[in-house]
Amino acid sequence: MQELLRRYGVGLTAAFIGLTAFWLLILVILPNVTLFESSFRPYLPVVDVGGPLDTYSLNNYMKVFGVPVDVSVLWMTFQVPVHIKIFFGTIYYSTLVTVITFLLAYPLAYYLAKVVSPKSLPTLFLLLFVPLWVSEILRSFAWFIILAFKGPLNALLLNIGLIDAPVRWISGYNSVIVGLVYTYVLFMVFPLYNAIQSLDTNQIEAAEDLGAPWWRIHQRVILPHAKPGIASGSVMVFMLCAGSLLVPTLLGSTSAQWFTQTIQQWMLEALDWNTGAAYAFMLLILCTVFVSVVMRIFRVKLSDIAK
């Protein structure tokens, strides 16, 4: 603060602080507070808004417990409210996508950070970035076409004789997983690349010199060093997946519902913004809790991620 004042003088400092405050208060906090407040109020006809019926309650939040459906896990069958089922499906498949992106991104990040010669690095990064120039909608549509029953993937597999009959790829959550992995894998690659790249190559060599086979070097030296990168990549991918609307809408089969789609239905189909807001906050809070618990289990601190 003093530093800022000394360097830029009163006028500029005030401008900086003013802009930051504007951004935080008007663009971040205010809309959220409004939404949060409305999530406790009932959905009423316009004439009743502000009238005696307009009281605060948790009713909107309670709506997730309605409409039970059958869910079978292994050999057991439960009655679970449909929205809760969708919620846990979202968490489960987001976690799965996070794990898959990690498994794909780690070898790639290691390769980029420690194997390729620095000369070819810019070209490789460019190749990684090119898909990002195409909008997310187009990329999801591209996958929709690729995975279609009569699409190129089935044609290719049939032609090379790997399958005898076309496979229905867009069923259940399969295509959503493919789409989400494809959309968010780079959010895993870059934090991992940064983390691995900051590891002194001599440490890898020292481990090898002491007799460690390659997998030991990864297990004991590289992965522990990359932990903050893994954590920030995972949190990012998980949150983006759980909050994604486009990919599940475009690529989800009828049996694959994402929680964001439920929120959208409340807001746009039922026009009940209050319940939609309540669901949105539930998603936010429960995802945050889930992420904190997982971070606690893996002993990752928030300050590690911020690095």
Residues that bind other proteins (CB under 8 A): 200, 202-203, 205-213, 216, 220-221, 224-225
> DSSP label at 119?
T
* Burial 148-183, CB ≥16 within 10 A → b, else e: beebebbeeeeeeeeeeeeeebbeebbbbbbbbbbb
| 216 close to 208: Cβ distance less than 8 angstroms | no
CB of 115 to other proteins, least distance (A): 14
CB of 195 to other proteins, least distance (A): 13
Of 253, 249, 240, residue with least CA distance to 263: 249
Element (H, E) at 81: strand 76-81
CB of 124 to other proteins, least distance (A): 21
From residue 54, alpha-carbon distances to 41, 42, 276 in Å are 6, 6, 17
CB of 300 to other proteins, least distance (A): 13
At 299, list the tokens: 């002993």
At 231, list the tokens: 């954590």
Residue number with CB closer to other proteins (230 or 237): 230
Residue 81 forms beta bridges with which residues? 68
CB of 200 to other proteins, least distance (A): 6
Residue number with CB closer to other proteins (150 or 299): 299
Residue number with CB closer to other proteins (240 or 295): 295
> DSSP label at 170?
S
Of 88, 96, 102, 100, residue with least CA distance to 286: 88
Residue number with CB closer to other proteins (138 or 210): 210
CB of 67 to other proteins, least distance (A): 50
Residue number with CB closer to other proteins (2 or 202): 202
Residue number with CB closer to other proteins (54 or 205): 205
